[in-house]
Amino acid sequence: MTGSSAPATLTPLQKGLLLITALVLAAGLFLLRNGLNQEAPLDQLARQSLDPEVALTNSRPTVLEFYADWCEACQAMAPAMLQTEQNHADQLDVVLVNIDNPRWLDLTDQYDVTGIPQLNLFSADGVMRGRSLGARTADELESLAVALIDNAPLPQLAGVGSTSSVPPAETVSSPGPRSHS
- pLDDT for 168 equals 44
Number of domains in the chain: 1
Residue at 180 is within a domain: no
Which among 27, 47, 45 has a CA at the least distance from the CA of 35? 27
Residue at 13 is within a domain: no
CA dist list (Å): 73 to 45, 65, 81: 15, 12, 12
Would you give the distance in Å from CA 117 to the centre of its chain? 11
Residue at 111 is within a domain: yes
Which among 79, 88, 86, 91 has a CA at the least distance from the CA of 138? 79
Residue at 169 is within a domain: no
Residue at 55 is within a domain: yes
Residue at 178 is within a domain: no
- pLDDT for 130 equals 93
CA dist list (Å): 36 to 40, 42, 75: 12, 17, 20
Which among 134, 131, 164 has a CA at the least distance from the CA of 148? 131
Which among 110, 101, 117 has a CA at the least distance from the CA of 56? 110
Mean pLDDT of the chain: 84
Model confidence pLDDT, tens digit, residues 52-107 = 999 999 999 999 999 999 999 999 999 999 999 999 999 999 999 999 999 999 99
- pLDDT for 23 equals 86
**pTM recorded for the entire structure:** 0.68
CA dist list (Å): 169 to 33, 115, 122, 166, 172: 55, 22, 24, 9, 10
CB atoms within 10 A of CB 60: 19
Amino acid found at 29:
L
Give the domain range for residue 143: 41-162
- pLDDT for 10 equals 84
Whether pLDDT at 169 is above 80: no
Question: Which CATH number covers residue 145?
Answer: 3.40.30.10
Residue at 10 is within a domain: no
Residue at 68 is within a domain: yes
